[in-house]
Amino acid sequence: MKLSVIITTYNSEEWLKKVLIGYENQTENDFEVVIADDGSTQKTRELLDQFSHSFKYPIIHVWQEDNGFQKCKILNKAILKANSDYIIFTDGDCIPREDFVATHIKYKRKGYFLSGGYFKLPLYTSSIITKEDILSKQCFNPSWLSKNKVKTNFKLTKLIRFKPFTLFMNWITPTKRTFNGHNTSCFKEDLIAVNGFNEDMQYGGLDREIGERMLNYGILSKQIRYSAICLHLDHERGYFKQEEWDKNLKIRAYNIKNKIIQTKNGILKL
């Protein structure tokens, strides 16, 4: 298969359903879906059963018990279960445009990871999007979004479908080419080389951290935030803790200063 899509989730069936509809509707179908489930209830399993015949390959459900925020741990498990040598990382609250997978395949290149972004929706708009809106692609239309309580501003240019414009915007955007957990892809061998995600980290920059270690390893990053489009559905973040965020910043600063490549508490426990 051409790639594996790893989607993280935790007790968010309504949003995950919309995301899976988006992957049902891709122009490219030669990919597998791996659900990295950080302790959801049986409702998520039941939802996945509903989508079991929607994809070319069976959905792989990687689940662990709910023991607090352990996203890095479930991501490392999902990496090992992925059957492709190329992986997209995204979240269960990000609806992909129909060319999302095809775009990652188009721009993949040895020695690089691809850095995508998202277009963030308000809660009202997130809630009213239907299956029909996703299949018809109208929820990615700036005009439709503007009519449904999305502010009209420069950020809507992310959704413009005009290749010369998107290439130009990818080039000039001041946004750093970081490893973003909602929209990034890379080769599995590079993830193994840096020993995956750092399981010492909870919420706050855990995706940036693995990207920084990949850069230390010699992997470069390529900007595709105006080409690989997904809509971020709004929700509360009850798992935010300032002390964890501060700890993660210290880990990242140490890694950058000391050119750390492999985490000791990753896929392997070193």
Which residues are CB-contacts of 46 (< 8 A; sequence separation ≥ 6)? Answer: none
Of 204, 192, 215, the C-alpha closest to 240 is 204
Beta strand 94-96 with 184-187 is unpaired
Label residues 53-84 b or e (16+ Cβ within 10 Å = b): eebeeebbbbbeeeeebbbbbbbbbbbeebeb
Note the pLDDT tens digit of each residue in 29-76.
999 999 999 999 999 999 999 999 999 999 999 999 999 899 999 999
Most distant CA pair in the chain, distance = 53
Q: How many helices (H) and strands (E) does the chain have?
A: 11, 10
Give the whole-number percent of the chain exceeding pLDDT 70: 97
Note the pLDDT tens digit of each residue in 122-173.
999 999 999 999 999 999 999 999 999 998 877 787 887 767 768 777 778 8
Report the alpha-carbon distance of residue 203 to residue 108 in Å, rounded.
Answer: 28
